[in-house]
């Protein structure tokens, strides 16, 4: 079977690329090895309760009246999605909590600035200059080399504590580099989180996935559950359809082979699987050395019998760190309880008619992927993580009785992420070496998503769109 393009992986970037290609009448086949779209940002049920598997919050909030140049507005325009379709509800207010200091922020940038002025009065003029510098900085320059965010911040902010507090949420939301961040990505995430802000679809990730699937169908595509050697439509998202290998000839990919032995031919291949993961599929083997990501996470989801707001906690997200400096690296032990991200999915500005998901709270901490893959006591370690997570939740929502309100817990580990995404080491943010132009050594094989370098849900979709526009639509 012959296509114009084969897309690997139905995560956010792959889905957006497939929709964009279908709009222009391209014969596109998106191959997804799982039974649902979304990749890590999908959903599942536990004890009958639908839960998002990856979504905490979307960045880049925009209203219908916002500037059309904002990333979310560009995305919606490129995918021909009306703003109201996503039912976006913005955050209430979030915090960055360090020993003896706390910064608050919301989707109104003035709140962060005021909080910094109160907590770091000697730094406010420096911060204002930094903010102006970042807002003028071109973080989307695909030819720009890696620039250390720590170094740039140290040149502009003289209080190390403020530097650490600014880095914490932005690293947690998108850095694949241990103890640092590419300043281009820092600038993108700074604008996305501090100037545009957090939001969430009213019904969670299913709202977004249903919208993307709907747009693909409206563009003439079909979504099918792949069966052995079946004929595929000219524009299709094929679920339960795993690519076993890619067949190279010289500097081109001639075809891909599915798990059942079926061979698909395409003019171009667009992979959202990750750089190293994509190269591992190629035969004869590609010997290019690509660093694999070392940053993995454990996440505890606690389902509650009451909303956290009724228990006295109104913050949407709390980024905490219990040391003077922020350590963002693979820990020595299974997980690092010193820092984390505490998200309350029901603490957004929902409307009266919204059907809010079951009350819950989610805690994410950095993990040692090697220990999780090697352990023979997987169940025991999940219980240890759960106990540590409940203790942290109690501390940061100021509710000692939270354990009495927990109905059910579930835990994501690096093996879980590997299963959902295929990322080596279960590294959510992929390789520390990003391929900003999406090109590989093969003239018809391109990368989008995590290892192209756009991060978060909005960034991932923009990655799929931009690479499709740049390389596949001329």
Residue 42's pLDDT is what? Answer: 94
DSSP string, 301-346: EEEESS-TTTTT---SEEEEE-SSS---S--SSSB-TTEEEEE-TT
Q: Are residues 298 and 414 in the same domain?
A: yes
Q: Are residues 211 and 261 in the same domain?
A: yes
Q: Are residues 173 and 215 in the same domain?
A: no
Report how far residue 277's alpha carbon sits from residue 281's, in angstroms, rounded to the nearest whole number. Answer: 7
Task: Please report whether residue 70 resides in a domain.
Answer: no
Domain extent, residue 414, equals 293-429
* Residue that terminates a domain, selected from 195, 217, 233: 195
Q: Are residues 152 and 211 in the same domain?
A: no
Task: Please report whether residue 366 resides in a domain.
Answer: yes
Residue 324's pLDDT is what? Answer: 87
Q: Are residues 280 and 323 in the same domain?
A: no
Report how far residue 223's alpha carbon sits from residue 400's, in angstroms, rounded to the nearest whole number. Answer: 47
Is 352 buried (19+), middle (13-18) or exposed (0-12) by CB count in 10 A?
exposed
Q: Are residues 331 and 455 in the same domain?
A: no
Task: Please report whether residue 459 resides in a domain.
Answer: yes
The residue written with tokens 């989180």 in the block is 193
Contact 56, 218 (CB under 8 A): no
At 30, which CATH number?
3.50.50.60
Contact 226, 239 (CB under 8 A): yes
Task: Please report whether residue 257 resides in a domain.
Answer: yes
Q: Are residues 40 and 132 in the same domain?
A: no
Which of 22, 70, 21 lies closest to 471, judged by CA? 21
pLDDT beneath 70: ranges in the chain: none
* Residue that terminates a domain, selected from 159, 175, 195: 195
| Tokens encoding 408 | 């059910």
Q: Whole-angstrom distance between the N-terminal and C-terminal Cα of the chain?
A: 24
Q: What does the CA dihedral 4, 8, 9, 11 come to, rounded to 10 degrees? A: -60
Task: Please report whether residue 406 resides in a domain.
Answer: yes
Q: Are residues 436 and 287 in the same domain?
A: yes
Give residues with Cβ within 8 angstroms of 299, minimum separation 6: 362, 363, 364, 365, 411, 412
Residue 385's pLDDT is what? Answer: 98
Residue 286's pLDDT is what? Answer: 85
Cross-strand pairs, 335 = 367
Q: Are residues 214 and 183 in the same domain?
A: no
Q: Are residues 320 and 424 in the same domain?
A: yes
CA angle 411/412/417 to nearest 5° reads: 165
Task: Please report whether residue 274 resides in a domain.
Answer: yes
Q: Are residues 303 and 422 in the same domain?
A: yes
Give residues with Cβ within 8 angstroms of 250, minimum separation 6: none
* Residue that terminates a domain, selected from 147, 163, 195: 195
Task: Please report whether residue 89 resides in a domain.
Answer: no
Task: Please report whether residue 356 resides in a domain.
Answer: yes
- The structural domain count of the chain equals 3
Residue 287's pLDDT is what? Answer: 79
Residue 1's pLDDT is what? Answer: 78
The number of beta carbons lying within 10 Å of the beta carbon of residue 229 is 10
Contact 424, 418 (CB under 8 A): yes
Q: Are residues 322 and 299 in the same domain?
A: yes
**Interhelix angle for 160-172 vs 183-190, to 10°?**
80
């Amino acid at each position: 079977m012959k296509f114009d393009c084969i897309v690997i992986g139905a995560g956010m970037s792959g889905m957006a690329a497939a929709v964009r290609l279908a709009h222009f009448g391209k014969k596109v086949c998106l191959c997804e090895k799982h039974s649902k779209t979304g990749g890590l940002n999908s959903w599942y049920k536990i004890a009958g309760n639908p839960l998002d598997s990856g979504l905490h919050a979307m960045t880049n909030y925009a209203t219908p009246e916002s500037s059309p140049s904002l990333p979310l507005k560009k995305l919606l325009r490129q995918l021909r999605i009306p703003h109201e379709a996503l039912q976006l509800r913005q955050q209430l207010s979030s915090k960055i909590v360090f020993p003896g200091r706390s910064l608050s922020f919301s989707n109104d940038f003035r709140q962060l600035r005021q909080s910094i002025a109160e907590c770091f009065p000697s730094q406010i003029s420096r911060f204002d200059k930094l903010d102006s510098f970042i807002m003028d900085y071109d973080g989307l320059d695909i030819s720009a080399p890696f620039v250390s965010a720590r170094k740039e911040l140290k040149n502009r902010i003289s209080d190390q504590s403020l530097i650490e507090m600014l880095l914490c949420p932005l690293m947690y939301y998108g850095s694949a580099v241990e103890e640092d961040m590419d300043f281009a990505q820092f600038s993108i995430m700074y604008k996305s989180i501090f100037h545009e802000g957090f939001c969430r679809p009213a019904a969670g990730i299913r709202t977004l996935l249903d919208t993307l699937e709907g747009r693909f169908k409206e563009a003439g595509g079909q979504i099918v559950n792949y069966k052995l050697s079946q004929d595929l439509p000219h524009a299709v998202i094929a679920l339960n359809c795993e690519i076993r290998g890619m067949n190279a000839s010289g500097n081109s990919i001639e075809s891909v082979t599915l798990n059942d032995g079926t061979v698909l031919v395409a003019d171009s291949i667009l992979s959202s699987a990750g750089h190293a993961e994509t190269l591992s599929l190629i035969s004869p083997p590609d010997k290019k050395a690509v660093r694999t990501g070392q940053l993995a996470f454990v996440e505890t989801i606690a389902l509650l019998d009451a909303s956290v707001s009724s228990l006295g906690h109104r913050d949407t997200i709390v980024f905490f760190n219990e040391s003077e400096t922020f350590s963002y690296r693979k820990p020595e032990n299974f997980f690092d309880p010193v820092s984390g991200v505490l998200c309350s999915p029901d603490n957004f500005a929902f409307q009266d008619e919204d059907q809010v998901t079951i009350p819950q709270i989610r805690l994410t901490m950095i993990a040692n992927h090697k220990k999780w893959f090697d352990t023979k006591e997987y169940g025991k370690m999940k219980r240890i993580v759960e106990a540590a997570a409940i203790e942290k939740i109690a501390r940061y929502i100021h509710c000692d009785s939270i354990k009495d309100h927990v109905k059910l817990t579930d835990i994501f580990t690096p093996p879980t992420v590997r299963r959902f995404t295929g990322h080596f080491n279960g590294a959510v943010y992929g390789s520390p070496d990003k391929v900003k132009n999406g090109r590989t050594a093969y003239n018809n094989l391109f990368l989008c998503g995590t290892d192209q370098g756009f991060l978060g849900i909005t960034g991932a979709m923009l990655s799929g769109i931009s690479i499709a526009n740049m390389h596949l639509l001329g």
